[in-house]
Chain A
Amino acid sequence: MAAIEIESLTKWYSRVRGVEDVTFSIERGEVFGYLGPNGSGKTTTIRCLMGLLRPSRGEVRVLGERVAPGRGTQHARIGYLPGDFRIWGRAKARRALGILAALGGDGGSAARRKELAERLELNLDRAVGDLSKGNRQKVALISAFQHRPDVLVLDEPTAGLDPLMRQTALDLIREAAGGGAAVLLSSHDLSEVAAVCSRAAILREGRLVEMAPISQIIQQGEHRLKIWFADGAGVGDVPTAQLPGVRIVERQAGMLHLAYQGTADAILKWVAQFPVDRIATPQTSLEEAFMQYYRSSPSAVVGAGVHKAARGVRA
């Protein structure tokens, strides 16, 4: 049984589409990346998952239980970090976190809270309203992790953190997943998604356009080829019309940096007519793969494969 199951989730805000026909599931111990630009429907999905919004259609299940809107379904076992974390500003961090822990029925998490505060280097005896944005984000992280949840729903968990603390936050996510927790990680920071997630889904205009292991998503993006020509020889104009799917990333005297989709066969055959010194294949990043989905038209990327993949994972 998957820890999180989302089936044909659709949410309309009056006539505006939030998400449409979103289907995926997350296993225990898995860190699942949820990607998409602003307004693509990530937060809507998360709020439906938390029962904060009533879906127009579809079903969400957490730890085997159907999420009923406004009923706090399995919330004692969920650690939630909202994208815009706001807490009672006048309360000290320790008290605010204590109230949230007690609300979760876990009054005995003080030791865990202390441990997390030490790791994140946060002074719990300051009023939350007096904390910097980064330190407030640490409070948010502690509130999500303090009761050792079985499911973590994290919306931009490292926003505002310095690189050192970002690593600590990613370590916390890895440890939770290592302990068997299912993690839904929504983020704009693709490097952190690539660092901790095994699989990811990409949303575009409320629809799921890709869901695959990170390595596969990266492979599906553009590939890069850097070619240095012998003795700095020039190659004239690149016949892009004869090389479909190829674009020039950078061009210097004696060096050509190309991006291509599919195979490199046509490029290599064209390059073979020039004296080549060396060729390098720079790593494609998740960011480049991600951008790929937003450069192409929606119809080109919305595929039946996404749903097939979603069902395949659950099977």
Chain B
Amino acid sequence: MSRTSRPPFPFVLLRFWLVRILPAWCGIALLIFLMQIAVSAIVHDNEKVKTLLGFIDMLPSIVKAALGGEMLRVGNTSALIAIGYNHPFVLFLFMLFAVGTPTGLLAGEVQRGTMELILSHPATKTQVYVCAGILTLAGMFALDIVMFLGTVAGVNIFTFKDRVPLDVFFRIAVNGGLLASTFGAFALLCAGTFGKLYTAISVSVAFLVANYFVAILSNWWPRMAFLRPATLFYLVDSSDLWQGWPLRNMGILAVILLVTAGLGAVIWHRRDLPL
């Protein structure tokens, strides 16, 4: 006689992991939120904007390109507020969460030896992977929403001469969330594939940095413009976002996200863990 039992979804594990990552998420979210308010505090005042642009002009042109390029000028309030969205510090915070969460939860538990204990309880490997996936992707998306709320708070705290189109920033935040979640999915794939925590982290970071570097390089150096479509950042083009919802790019990003996370799930399920 044989009967098949399917363990119920391990919400306990999801809750346990949520509690573990929550302090780090809150810290990152707070910094991102404050960053947006700080940007609003600077860009609402034209005198401060001039000082900021003077400072940016002193930086290498590649850095200026990374912060918004020629769109950064007095009076273009929206482009100036957007500095808070693609500032390297903000991207670093996103990367911290995108890479740290899935690798810490999957590869980290494997390396610590606690994954054997988790998997010896009624939870399938796929369910465990899904728990890490939910926390990574939802966490990334939530960070983007916090970023948008930071802009909303900044716009309400400080007085701007021109109306700030919050709907555009909402679009940027949602698309940014999709992009960040795709990087999170890649880190999830690495966490499901590599046994060693540091290998998973290194490959995830290398992928993210390579994408970012190529995106900046191809925007800054006209001869490298052909490389633009080679990065995920290309799918979140600010000029598209100004016009409306870039549904085609959003669809492509969603497909990449799902395929990457799905591939990670298959590899994670099929391979023997180094217990």
Q: Does A169 contact B (CB under 8 A)?
A: no
- Please tell me if the beta carbons of A75 and B269 are within 8 angstroms of each other in the complex: no
Q: Does A105 contact B (CB under 8 A)?
A: yes
Q: Does A28 contact B (CB under 8 A)?
A: no
0 or 1 for each of A42-75: is its CB under 8 Å from B? (1 = yes): 0000010011111000000100111000111111
- Enumerate chain A residues within 8 angstroms of B8, measured Cβ to Cβ: 105
Specify which of B5, B118, B124 is in contact with A103 (CB 8 Å cutoff).
Answer: B118
- Enumerate chain B residues within 8 angstroms of A65, measured Cβ to Cβ: 2-5
0 or 1 for each of B1-45: is its CB under 8 Å from A? (1 = yes): 111111110101100100000000000000000000000000000
Report A89-114 residues with CB < 8 Å from chain B CB.
99-100, 102-105
Q: How far is the CA of A84 from the CA of B118 in the complex (A)?
A: 14
- Please tell me if the beta carbons of A52 and B122 are within 8 angstroms of each other in the complex: no
Q: How far is the CA of A52 from the CA of B123 in the complex (A)?
A: 11
Q: How far is the CA of A36 from the CA of B10 in the complex (A)?
A: 35
- Please tell me if the beta carbons of B112 and A103 are within 8 angstroms of each other in the complex: no
- Please tell me if the beta carbons of B120 and A76 are within 8 angstroms of each other in the complex: no
Q: Does B62 contact A (CB under 8 A)?
A: no
Q: Specify which of B4, B117, B125 lies most central, judged by the most chain A CB atoms within 10 Å of its CB.
A: B117
- Enumerate chain A residues within 8 angstroms of B12, measured Cβ to Cβ: 99, 102-103
- Please tell me if the beta carbons of B121 and A75 are within 8 angstroms of each other in the complex: yes
Q: How far is the CA of A230 from the CA of B3 in the complex (A)?
A: 70
Report A123-153 residues with CB < 8 Å from chain B CB.
143
- Please tell me if the beta carbons of B3 and A70 are within 8 angstroms of each other in the complex: no
Q: How far is the CA of A309 from the CA of B174 in the complex (A)?
A: 65
Q: Does A251 contact B (CB under 8 A)?
A: no
Q: Which residue of B lies closest to A76 (CB)?
A: B122
Q: Which residue of A lies closest to B7 (CB)?
A: A72
Report B85-129 residues with CB < 8 Å from chain A CB.
112-114, 116-127
Specify which of A64, A70, A78 is in contact with B125 (CB 8 Å cutoff).
Answer: A70
- Enumerate chain B residues within 8 angstroms of A104, measured Cβ to Cβ: 121-122
- Enumerate chain A residues within 8 angstroms of B130, measured Cβ to Cβ: none
- Please tell me if the beta carbons of B4 and A100 are within 8 angstroms of each other in the complex: no
- Please tell me if the beta carbons of A76 and B7 are within 8 angstroms of each other in the complex: yes
With A76-B7, A104-B121 already in contact, the answer to whether A54 and B272 are too (CB < 8 A) is: yes
- Please tell me if the beta carbons of A52 and B1 are within 8 angstroms of each other in the complex: no
- Enumerate chain A residues within 8 angstroms of B164, measured Cβ to Cβ: none
Q: How far is the CA of A47 from the CA of B120 in the complex (A)?
A: 9
B residues with CB within 8 A of A: 1-8, 10, 12-13, 16, 112-114, 116-127, 269-270, 272-273, 275
Please name the 7 residue pairs, one residue from A and one from B, whose CB atoms are nearest each other, closest first. A86-B113, A70-B125, A80-B120, A103-B121, A102-B12, A75-B122, A72-B7
List 7 contacting pairs A-B, 8 Å CB cutoff, sorted by A.
A47-B275, A72-B121, A82-B116, A82-B117, A82-B120, A103-B13, A105-B7
Given A75-B120, A99-B16, 19 other A-B contacts at CB below 8 A? Answer: A47-B275, A53-B275, A65-B2, A70-B126, A71-B7, A71-B125, A76-B7, A78-B120, A82-B116, A82-B117, A82-B120, A85-B117, A86-B116, A100-B117, A100-B121, A104-B122, A105-B7, A105-B122, A143-B117
